[in-house]
Amino acid sequence: AGPVEGKKEAAMSELVPEPRQKPVVPMKPMGINTNLLGYIGIDTIIEQMRKKTMKTGFDFNIMVVGQSGLGKSTLVNTLFKSQVSRKSSGWNREEKIPKTVEIKAIGHVIEEGGVKMKLTVIDTPGFGDQINNENCWEPIEKYINEQYEKFLKEEVNIARKKRIPDTRVHCCLYFISPTGHSLRPLDLEFMKHLSKVVNIIPVIAKADTMTLEEKTEFKQRVRKELEVNGIEFYPQKEFDEDLEDKTENDKIRQESMPFAVVGSDKEYQVNGKRVLGRKTPWGIIEVENLTHCEFALLRDFVIRTHLQDLKEVTHNIHYETYRAKRLNDNGGLPPMAVETEENHESNL
């Protein structure tokens, strides 16, 4: 090699750091878990976390999307066993169908067993109700992204709040009309665009209008159509963390989705018990009875098994994707946080 090349190589070697050696992993002490000399108390961390969560409470924001008349409000009221969503028993005479999609967010605090949940229900009246529904998903996508932006701006503030208010949409229940045929182009269009920014859980509304055979066939058809169109609904395959998660989520993806549900906030007496249900000429459809509908499966899935995961996927995947894109578009700089009057006063 000539002297010039030698100099180049020397300069290069100065710039390129030597590959870092892998740290030596210390050997695992044998039987450390079995031969503890007395109790340390590491396991109390769970109790400490529980107490802290109970004190502060947590946010959960759920969005409902679908044509009017599919029982969206009723279903959310049934999920949380309280009037958390506007009661829509059809439109009032004075109330017109919105010309464009409106976004209405209603906040509540629900307490159970000493745990506080700050629940926000985001309704989307006007979605899919027009003659021309082209791009009617845009205001919804805009709203979801606005919440990410709000969170990002709070996060990059120099004087950050100890606890940033979380208005990000953790879960979107998408209501499919129980036609028994196939998904409408609008359904596919919405889920194709929005599945990239939010956790979508498809549900077949008013499932009591179909026979058991129709329901089974329709569920299979919907799953097939979503697969053919490359639409990923929650729980997304690529976010399964381990084999246990994969097994549990595969069962949900292949058997339960989309949940065929019936909602009701009316109580009836059945065999001496008070049950939530819908009265028909041939009997009462019990909402929480698995032989009648899959409402109990949906409730257990959203609230009892996957609520924390819905929040984590929103934060670690959807929000992170938005954040990275915003920083990229901004040349690596965080977006300027708009100083509100409230922030300004607190800084004085």
Task: Give the pLDDT of residue 97.
Answer: 66
Topology annotation, domain 56-85+99-263+291-330: Rossmann fold (3.40.50)
Tokens 């915003």 locate to 326
Whether the predicted pLDDT of 94 surpasses 70: no
Task: Give the pLDDT of residue 341.
Answer: 46
Task: Give the pLDDT of residue 28.
Answer: 53
- Dihedrals φ, ψ of 151, to 5°? -65, -40
- Sequence-distant (6+) residues with CB within 8 A of 31 are none
Which residues are registered as beta bridge partners of 70?
Answer: none
- Dihedrals φ, ψ of 247, to 5°? -60, -50
Task: Give the pLDDT of residue 18.
Answer: 52
Whether the predicted pLDDT of 88 surpasses 50: no
Q: Express each pLDDT in 272-288 by its tens digit.
A: 888 888 888 888 888 88
Q: How much is the mean pLDDT over the chain?
A: 82
Q: Express each pLDDT in 37-60 by its tens digit.
A: 788 888 899 889 888 888 888 899
Among candidates 151, 210, 154, 147, which has minimal Cα distance to 177? Answer: 210
- Dihedrals φ, ψ of 333, to 5°? -95, 145
CA distance 57 to 229: 39
Residue 104 host element (H or E):
strand 104-112
Number of other residues whose CB lies within 10 A of the CB of residue 249? 20
Stated pTM of the model: 0.81
Please state the rounded mean pLDDT for residues 234-254.
88
Percent of the chain with pLDDT over 90: 36
Structure tokens at 152: 């990002």
CA distance 346 to 37: 51
Please state the rounded mean pLDDT for residues 306-334.
90
CA distance between the termini of the chain: 66
Whether the predicted pLDDT of 1 surpasses 60: no
Q: Among 37-46, 91-100, 146-155, 206-215, which range has the highest average pLDDT?
A: 146-155
